[in-house]
Amino acid sequence: MPKSLVLGNGNMLLCFDNKARVRDFYYHYVGLENHAGSGCVHRIGIMIDGDFSWIEEAAWKVTMDYQTDSLVSKVEMVNKELGIKLDFKDTVYNEKCIFLRNVTISNLWDEKRKIKLFFHQQFRIYDTERRDTGYYDPEEEVIIHYEGRRVFIVGGRQGNTSFDDYCIGNYGIEGKIGTWKDAEDGELEKNPIEHGPVDSVIAFTFEIEGHKKKVVDYWISAAKILAEARKLHQYVLTRTANHLLESTEDYWSAWVNKNNLDFKDMNKESVDLFKKSLLIIRTHIGNEGGIIASADSDMLQYGRDTYAYVWPRDGAFVALSLIKAKYHTIPRKFFEFCNDVISEEGYFFHKYRSDKSVGSSWHPWSKEGKKQLAIQEDETALIIFSLWEYYQASLNIEFIESVYNSLIKKAAEFMYHYRDKRTGLPKESYDPWEQKYGISTFTCSTVYGGLLAASKFAKVLGKEEDAKKYLHEAEEIKSLTVKYLYNSDNGYFYNRIMPNKEGFGFDNTIDISSFFGLFYFDILDINDTMLDDVFDVVERELFCKTKVGGVMRYVGDEYHRVDDDAPGNPWIITTLWVAQYRIKKAKTLDALEEVKKTFEWVSAQTTNAGLLPEQISSDKGEHLSAAPLTWSHAEYVTTVMQYLERKKELENK
């Protein structure tokens, strides 16, 4: 299911479902080592005067959001039948790997109530079912879950008192469904230790007068060794959970507002989504530099794997959004990541894990018995293209000099030599949707942009021969893209051409990526009438004509399609690409009005907390595939920044 909240600090990342239950618990890498994946859930329960309830039951009405401009949750749970309201403030402490929950319990009735609040933990440490241990430490008054070099300490306080009940047990083996069942009679068995697939429950018991409140703090500290986890637990006790939560809220508020942008005439919902997008993007970026596509572990791509990988393409577009929004430190770390993982041959693999190892893939390394590169060349080109944008914004010449030979030149030499002999275009590789192999309009456009950026880098560093060489090849690819890929029969560009013994095969699919590549990387000038004709085709063929609206990827897109008779689903990024075209094309302020409508459309597709999916169903507008998708949020940030810049330019004319 799509996630409803994400919280993180670059080493710890947690995802929550629509009942505020932890469903993903990543540590020590963002997107890698999900210690609560594979269906695990951290439940929350409450007993009131002998009546027990889990908060996922229908009687609970749950609303979820973030505190204003911050990576701290604002969750309200109300059960009118029980006369109880729970208000949660959750966060991952920005400085250390500590998950904090602050719960305010309100008694909505007149009489005094006896309350017992339960927190359930269900771990699969290292995402395995074996070798975990959980035990109760009576001296520290905590539950400790561990395996190898991953330790999680569960603690809490109600006033000055720790939890007063607990139990540790197994789930998923020997007919046991989980220790959480032990909570439903209100009494825990206090089993002190268990191993294998282990879960645990702690509980706090107290009374609340009529129309009064009590507060419970709960936390999980994570470390690689027990001693360090204990230090983190003591750190919470010393500094207090409330102080850490408040300081984290203040930090993120300062971070997201540091540039003090003037949002002109954008409405509140659109501005709020901009800020939330920056925060959500940040949760998906590891402190080692990796930018993952999505932390949503429930979304299994093609049923086999998740989106929790670093795609160089997605990462490049996220980096571009942060550069546009004037956040330069994070993109630099991403480029350092890229510098470390680029192959000796000068290309990037399909995707990577956050620890810089190569990720899983379905691209074959041979075709009809012959070797082929299982890559998407646009991913290589986009890194160099986005790195130039970073340099223009930061002017960090020392960093550029340090990665010129190891990253820039290595990638440029690959793009320079990886050319089809008959056409002079980039050789075949996979398209941006990772489905088709050939010479695509989008990839040609990105390679032009990448080689042009490499030429500019070489010129800045005084490497004149490299500068001339890369510029010549870039300009040649630009003209050859129009020569070979323009389809005069339909006024569009071929999605791809496929060299064969007889000549070429032609793919006439109307694909939004072809249009985007042409205007974004300046293959065609924004005022070229040919580009006008291409956009007319996009408007006719790819705009979703249902009540949902938006723009689909390509004609005949079957990925998560509702049914055979339905059009392809609209994607957030493709809809925003059209807005970016309109911004670039705009000559008057009135021409930007349609862009504001796109912002409002995108804002309407979020969860209550502001998370954007990859795509939505063409019939009902339901979230499909991964949510949140980092790329969706990145394109929104980029489009808003482009809008603000263009509006300012037009106002000053």
Beta bridge partners of 77: 62, 86
Higher pLDDT, 303 or 425: 425
Average confidence (pLDDT) over 313-318: 98
Residue 118 pLDDT > 70: yes
Q: Using one digit for the tens of pLDDT, what is the confidence trace for 135-178?
A: 999 999 999 999 999 999 999 999 999 999 999 999 999 989 99
- For the chain, percent helix, then strand, then coil, each to nearest 5? 35, 25, 40
Distance CA 164, CA 162 (A): 6
Residue 508 pLDDT > 80: yes
Q: Are 200 and 154 in contact (CB under 8 A)?
A: yes
Question: Euclidean distance between the first and final Cα of the chain, in Å?
Answer: 48
Q: Using one digit for the tens of pLDDT, what is the confidence trace for 169-209?
A: 999 999 899 999 999 999 999 999 999 999 999 999 999 99
Average confidence (pLDDT) over 470-477: 98
pLDDT, the chain, mean: 96
Kindly state the percentage of the chain with pLDDT values over 70.
99
Q: Are 324 and 638 in contact (CB under 8 A)?
A: yes
Rounded to whole angstroms, what are the CA distances from 355 to 188, 199, 223?
40, 27, 17
Domain ranges across the chain: 5-256
Q: What is the pLDDT of residue 305?
A: 80
Q: What is the pLDDT of residue 145?
A: 98
Rounded to whole angstroms, what are the CA distances from 565 to 143, 243, 510, 557, 558?
54, 55, 18, 12, 11
Rounded to whole angstroms, what are the CA distances from 429 to 4, 483, 487, 517?
36, 19, 20, 16
pTM of the model: 0.96
Residue 301 pLDDT > 80: no
Residue 119 pLDDT > 90: yes
- Of 299-313, 382-396, 552-566, 609-623, give the range with the top mean pLDDT: 382-396
Q: What is the pLDDT of residue 503?
A: 87
Q: Using one digit for the tens of pLDDT, what is the confidence trace for 611-645?
A: 999 999 999 999 988 889 999 999 999 999 999 99
Higher pLDDT, 521 or 37: 521
Q: What is the pLDDT of residue 339?
A: 98
Residue 272: how many other CB atoms lie within 10 Å: 18
Q: What is the pLDDT of residue 2?
A: 74
Q: Class of 5-256 per CATH?
A: mainly beta
Q: What is the pLDDT of residue 299?
A: 63
Q: What is the pLDDT of residue 300?
A: 56
Q: What is the pLDDT of residue 565?
A: 77
Q: Identify the DSSP state of 184.
A: G
Q: What is the pLDDT of residue 298?
A: 73
Q: Using one digit for the tens of pLDDT, what is the confidence trace for 53-83?
A: 999 999 999 999 999 999 999 999 999 999 9
Pseudo-torsion of CA 630, 360, 514, 381, nearest 10°?
90
Distance CA 118, CA 53 (A): 10
Residue 502 pLDDT > 90: no
Q: What is the pLDDT of residue 302?
A: 46
Residue 304 pLDDT > 80: no
Q: Using one digit for the tens of pLDDT, what is the confidence trace for 406-449?
A: 999 999 999 999 999 999 999 999 999 999 999 999 999 999 99
